Structure 1
């Protein structure tokens, strides 16, 4: 065990050092006037190759780090983003599974020594390997196809061990490819939320709540929970085209359909079941032949307090503000702007006009240009943005919203984003919207 831990530390340590070295080389070439498009592309290719090699072979938080990067690659210039898209998207489906011995050990420990009697058949080759566990396809004793999710026995230990180095690596990576992003803050929040995903009982409860809330909706397929104990979760198996495949080669009709349903899931989760899906990366969705969106992985969810305004209601109200004065009033009311703090209202309005572009048109085309403009606005408005106090209880929901928007940009989907939001949110928000349009 000590040798394995040392090996992980050595491999992880090489990641920030390699990125830092290439960042220094890039700066030197730029000063000397020798940083050509070709040499810059080569530097990014080397970085992407190292990220894939190191992150793809390790467990815990490192794989989540790779998944986040594969979403946020849309902020990069097209020639560079293609490099990271091709390498890092593979992390969502290409983690290396554990041995058959591990499967026997976990199943016997958590289900019992006669666990195989519960199945008509069980495929020991993993159907998918994720950051904290892997999934096996099987047939339940009553003939139903099921997905058996197993948590790696050392997932918690490795997650905690990776934390500091992953935060360090993400900070260096963003300084190289997207300095406008706060890589450290993103990594810290990400690792905290991943810790919650180790509780499969919590995940099973959330999945069942989602299934109940969406039971009458013909647009979504939430798999049924069949059995959960310890580090084992057995659910109904669902087929379909992975969203990553739609992103890489789907038709525009498929892209728009997937984008619409992802948007609808995001806005309707809290009104229907008091939860918001907290990990909307492409690997967690399947577009099925009948047009439904299959939804997987409920380990990370935002729990909403009944009777209070939801994070998405707040986000919509802020971005639908008529003018700078109304914006300031809403920000103070929602405690985003502390009492007594004076800010440049026009610059603040410009900031939210960029990030909130999807709510100012009937149909919005999500793409990399929008995401770069929104992030560029955050950078340009950094002094005024720092005046805002982001409520801690909204961090998880805001991250989920940000990741979902990143996926919509990858899909290049055209979506009635504003109308979907208004459809599921409060009458107050509907009145605010109707006053503008």
Structure 2
């Protein structure tokens, strides 16, 4: 086996106290970077229609993201979600640094890496490979990916889980819940506990790589021979609960199509394909890959295909919930407020006993968000300010006390999925015919 050098890594903190300390340091870096005026501004914008804008220096942003990257696990996952469309909250310079969380974490030290390999494959693991590159090609919140070639010539990507991350999920979620309560991240009367519990259960599923292998194979069967996508094959003989072996695939994160090297036609095609796939996941597969991280989709310029990665966050959707969203989509296309009200109650957005003003406010928000569905032909996300309007209105409603309850936690993953598709279309300045695309799933 021919190894490559690895830069020194930083051990993953594994105890609750050590992770709470790191989280406190990261929060302190963020608060110091924002400053007193910035904190006052954030408090003010929570009660207004004006978009929040954090003026954070590159130096403070770098320290903040480095701490999250060192922690890995649930805390880094939350940081990745913060970075998904940071241009609306952070300055461009800060948003650029935050985006690094979507593609890398601090690699684990060689001692931790070899400990995982020894435990999962046995002490003679090196006999299985002709080559294993010890420098990871990618690292995220739960594990890092290494390029490898087996003795029989298979070119693989090995997703190797950080030691201690699975064991730290519960403490991370408890620490984040404590931080959320301390900072007042939700209005009074809104209980975020079910959401944190749902996130905890999902992260435990993501940390089980054999469960992810099952989801990947199920998903590949659903995708079939779709010419727009490539789903890597699982290699079971080298996969365990903490190592996932799959085909190696080339490509760049799909959001990089936004730079000047790619034509508008390529951006439109990629955005259309992934939006269509999101609708197929809900209405046809009943299996949604709910992690919107752009790094989970690689664009292969040589083939024009999109490589689909990371199925740890695959969530099965019940038939009743699918039927309710189908009814909501039909109502939104027809701009039928009565039918929208019925569907919103079925999903759990509101209760039939809620005050009419509260229900009307929710229906107005749903009608606003469905603007692209009622726009025949290509909707130009690049020239639309819909995201800002929905974001501002939704935040105002959330903190105004309009909602006396929140929908069931399982809807959170669907919201995350479709918000990710929306943000990708926006990032790529794509033109997508959502009306025609959705209509085919509503018959």
What TM-score results when the alignment is normalised by the length of structure 2?
0.81
Describe how 1:152-301 pairs up with structure 2 within 5 A. 152-167=162-177, 190-227=199-236, 228-251=239-262, 252-289=264-301, 290-301=303-314
CA contact (8 A) 1:196 1:300 kept: yes
* Post-superposition offset of 1:26: 2.9
| Alpha-carbon distance change, 83 to 369 in structure 1, aligned in 2, over 3 angstroms | farther
Deviations 1:248-300 (A, max 9, x none): 55533332222112102211124554311111211111111211111100000
CA contact (8 A) 2:12 2:108 kept: no
* Counterpart residue number, 2:442: 426
CA distance in 1, matches of 2:149, 2:42: 58
Deviations 1:119-152 (A, max 9, x none): 2321122111111111110113332211011111
CA distance in 1, matches of 2:316, 2:227: 24
Between the two proteins, the alignment pairs up a number of residues equal to 411
CA contact (8 A) 1:74 1:372 kept: no
* Counterpart residue number, 1:326: 339
CA distance in 2, matches of 1:324, 1:3: 51
Describe how 1:327-366 pairs up with structure 2 within 5 A. 327-344=340-357, 346-361=360-375, 362-366=377-381
SS of equivalent residue, structure 2 residue 149: strand
Residue 394 of structure 2 is aligned to residue 378 of structure 1: yes
CA distance in 2, matches of 1:285, 1:390: 29
Question: Unaligned regions of 5+ residues in structure 2, if any?
Answer: 1-10, 44-52
* Counterpart residue number, 1:149: 159
CA contact (8 A) 1:65 1:166 kept: no
SS of equivalent residue, structure 2 residue 356: coil
Deviations 1:69-119 (A, max 9, x none): 11132433xxx4413321111112231111233333222222233333332
SS of equivalent residue, structure 1 residue 148: strand
CA distance in 2, matches of 1:29, 1:211: 47
| Alpha-carbon distance change, 119 to 63 in structure 1, aligned in 2, over 3 angstroms | same
Aligned-residue CA RMSD in angstroms? 3.4
CA contact (8 A) 2:373 2:434 kept: yes
CA distance in 2, matches of 1:30, 1:312: 34
CA distance in 2, matches of 1:315, 1:298: 27
278-287 or 268-277: bigger deviation: 268-277
* Post-superposition offset of 1:400: 1.9
* Counterpart residue number, 1:403: 420
CA contact (8 A) 1:20 1:172 kept: no
CA contact (8 A) 2:288 2:316 kept: yes
CA distance in 2, matches of 1:90, 1:183: 31
| Alpha-carbon distance change, 106 to 374 in structure 1, aligned in 2, over 3 angstroms | same
What TM-score results when the alignment is normalised by the length of structure 1?
0.82
